[in-house]
């Protein structure tokens, strides 16, 4: 299985109030310009177009509040041959699922204002900290998830 296929199996990551999705490739009929998709950079890194959706939930009704799309580097070229990449991707998905669930719990308990809309203000690139594969210690998905969530410069900023 390729990294692109592995990445596609881990997304979307969603909760009641947020979702992070990979955007499928599409072609503009008029210009022929390609949008979205997952591919390699000229340097060999794995990139994808990622969509962050923020939902307002009022009882049974769920309305889209904000949507942002951005092309982001998922795995930099220098780390693409690292045998830990599948564990990193799995740990990243686990960390994001946990963080989104914690954010939803806090919203349910204290309301949206309790989090000062930190996810609503975020951009998709903020969910893919590139420095984690430079660490030597993480080997398993759990190791990567811990490394991502215990550092505020990575994904720790998501946790309430």
34 vs 51, which has greater pLDDT?
Answer: 51
2 vs 100, which has greater pLDDT?
Answer: 100
Least confident of 39-43, 69-73, 148-152: 39-43
Share in percent of the chain as helix, strand, coil (round to 5): 40, 25, 35
Mean per-residue pLDDT, 63-90: 91
pLDDT tens digits for range 5-43: 778 889 999 999 889 999 886 555 666 555 556 666 667
pLDDT tens digits for range 93-119: 999 999 999 988 888 887 766 665 677
Give, in order, the Cα–Cα distances in Å from 150 to each of 17, 74, 99, 102: 23, 20, 11, 14
Q: According to the per-residue pLDDT averaged within each range, which of 6-10, 53-57, 87-91 is highest?
A: 87-91
How many domains does the chain contain in total? 1
Least confident of 25-29, 72-76, 86-90, 141-145: 25-29
| Residue range(s) defining the domain that contains residue 73 | 3-158
pLDDT at 87: 95
Angle at 58 between CA 55 and CA 60, to 5 degrees: 100
Q: What pTM, to 2 d.p., does this model score?
A: 0.85
How many C-beta neighbours within 10 Å does residue 131 have?
A: 12
Residue 145 φ then ψ, to 5°: -60, -45
Q: Are 117 and 61 in contact (CB under 8 A)?
A: no
């Amino acid at each position: 299985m390729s990294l692109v296929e592995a990445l596609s199996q881990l997304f979307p990551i969603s909760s009641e109030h947020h979702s992070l999705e990979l955007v499928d490739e599409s072609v503009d009929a008029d210009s022929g310009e390609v949008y979205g998709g997952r591919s390699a950079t000229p340097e060999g890194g794995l990139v994808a177009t990622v969509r962050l959706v923020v939902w307002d939930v009022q009882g049974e009704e769920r309305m889209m509040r904000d949507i942002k799309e951005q092309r982001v580097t998922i795995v930099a070229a220098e780390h693409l041959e690292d045998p830990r990449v599948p564990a990193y991707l799995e740990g990243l998905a686990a960390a994001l699922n946990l963080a989104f669930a914690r954010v939803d719990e806090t919203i349910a308990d204290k309301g949206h204002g309790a989090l000062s809309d930190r996810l609503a203000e975020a951009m998709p690139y903020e969910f893919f900290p590139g420095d984690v594969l430079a660490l030597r210690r993480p080997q398993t998905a759990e190791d990567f998830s811990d490394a991502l969530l215990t550092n505020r410069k990575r994904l720790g900023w998501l946790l309430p």
